Structure 1
């Protein structure tokens, strides 16, 4: 009887051990399956995240090449939607299988929408290329017309410049006399009481006849201009220059003798002086003299 009890106890113990082993194996397998599933969802989540980032970047690239404001606005809205879905994906737990599957379905929609926009943009690109080819032809024709107009303008300007140069007056035989108070040549600079400037306005039948004014600038050795109460300014190349003396004369196309006087009322330094003569806004002659 005692021996029979021991056998029964041994059988029960073995059965319990077998049950424990089977249960432990089942639990370990279930945990392993769950771990494998979580790893799978983690990989799925990472792959989806990369896809969402890629689509967001593609929308940025599409916006850079699109000039249509309406289409750009639609692309911007879709990009914001993709970014929102990406944020949802990044915040969802790996164990939330239902949410991950929902976002995976959303990703398919995003992919389809992106494909549709790419097709629209490709169609617009072909249309723009055709319009671009036509536009380039028109631009080429326009460049040819502009080139012809430019050539004619340059020829006209060159001709105008020749006419302008041909019509400019010229001063020649410029002389300067430094006289004393008796009207004789001064021997010393301190005796100079008057400077007398003589020159000729050369003959030029191309110059428009009429009353003209000659402006004479006397520049001292320090390049400052001699001036008095009768001095003023005149226009020259978009600026105003100071003149020392001016004199009006009538020009009819023939040579004109000119004499202009400067009464010395200030101390004159020794050195090289310069005179410039202007008529009709042009420098027609210049000379230098030494005192």
Structure 2
């Protein structure tokens, strides 16, 4: 019977090896199990008539049970602590993810607001008109009688736009897609590249509407058809207008 009890307690110590991750406690358990194995060996060597030795071994068994109960309590405490730490870690992870999502959302909203403010601050060209005139300033419908294109428009009122000096660019495009320009060096930045302009004008903008007129001297042969005038400012396309000329 005593040998069975030692075997049972030995198996209990052996079983704890797989549930304990604390190195210090595992070391103590290994020592106690070694003690159990040693006592088991002593029990096998003890004669049934040796009552004094059997009593000593029973006392040792009682002590081992107390130690085992103490270790069970420590293991339970550690397991509870691990569960609490695991739950706390999961909560922290959830909070971190929620905070990250919130920060991402705030960043996106800030970016969207910035884009809206930037869009609201853009200049807009209105009342765009293009006409061809002869040397006397009279409007013409035929290219053969025209010496100049006159491009006029109004920069609309915009109190959200930053006041100051602005460079306005106009691109005149012929029916064949050619951009009219006096020099290949007449370029300006637009959408990460340099593009040709036909005319430009520097204006002082204070938030109120301002009229702008630019002139293009016709010095080249132009095919009849539909022409296009595009207006740019601050890196943005702010207006467009098409017009048709006869030969």
Larger radius of gyration: 1
User: Where has structure 1 moved over 3 Å in runs of 4 or more?
Assistant: 130-142
Q: Which residue of 2 aligns with 1:74?
A: none
Distance change >3 Å, CA 152–CA 270, structure 1 → 2: same
Q: What TM-score, normalized to structure 1?
A: 0.52
Q: Which residue of 2 aligns with 1:254?
A: 208
Q: Is residue 225–residue 243 contact of structure 1 (8 Å, CA) maintained in 2?
A: yes
Work out the CA distance in 2 between the residues paired with 1:259 and 1:191. 21
Work out the CA distance in 2 between the residues paired with 1:142 and 1:249. 51
Matching of residue 276 in structure 1 with residue 236 in structure 2 = no
Q: Which residue of 2 aligns with 1:159?
A: 113
- 1:215-254 aligned at under 5 Å gives the runs 215-229=169-183, 232-254=186-208
Q: Is residue 219–residue 275 contact of structure 1 (8 Å, CA) maintained in 2?
A: yes
Task: Point out where structure 2 has 5 or more consecutive residues left out of the alignment.
Answer: 1-82
CA deviation after TM superposition for structure 1 residue 187, in Å: 4.4
Q: Which residue of 1 aligns with 2:102?
A: 148
Q: Is residue 231–residue 245 contact of structure 1 (8 Å, CA) maintained in 2?
A: no
Q: Is residue 231–residue 244 contact of structure 1 (8 Å, CA) maintained in 2?
A: no
Q: What TM-score, normalized to structure 2?
A: 0.60
Work out the CA distance in 1 between the residues paired with 2:231 and 2:124. 9
Task: Point out where structure 1 has 5 or more consecutive residues left out of the alignment.
Answer: 1-129
Let me know the Cα RMSD of the aligned residues.
Answer: 2.2
Work out the CA distance in 1 between the residues paired with 2:188 and 2:94. 47
Q: Which residue of 2 aligns with 1:192?
A: 146
Higher strand share: 2
- May I ask how many residue pairs the two structures share in their alignment? 162
Q: Is residue 167–residue 233 contact of structure 2 (8 Å, CA) maintained in 1?
A: yes
Q: After superposition, give the CA deviation of every residue in 1:24-65 in whole Å (9 maximum; x if it has no partner).
A: xxxxxxxxxxxxxxxxxxxxxxxxxxxxxxxxxxxxxxxxxx
Q: Is residue 179–residue 196 contact of structure 1 (8 Å, CA) maintained in 2?
A: yes
Distance change >3 Å, CA 187–CA 148, structure 1 → 2: closer
Higher helix share: 1
Matching of residue 285 in structure 1 with residue 235 in structure 2 = no
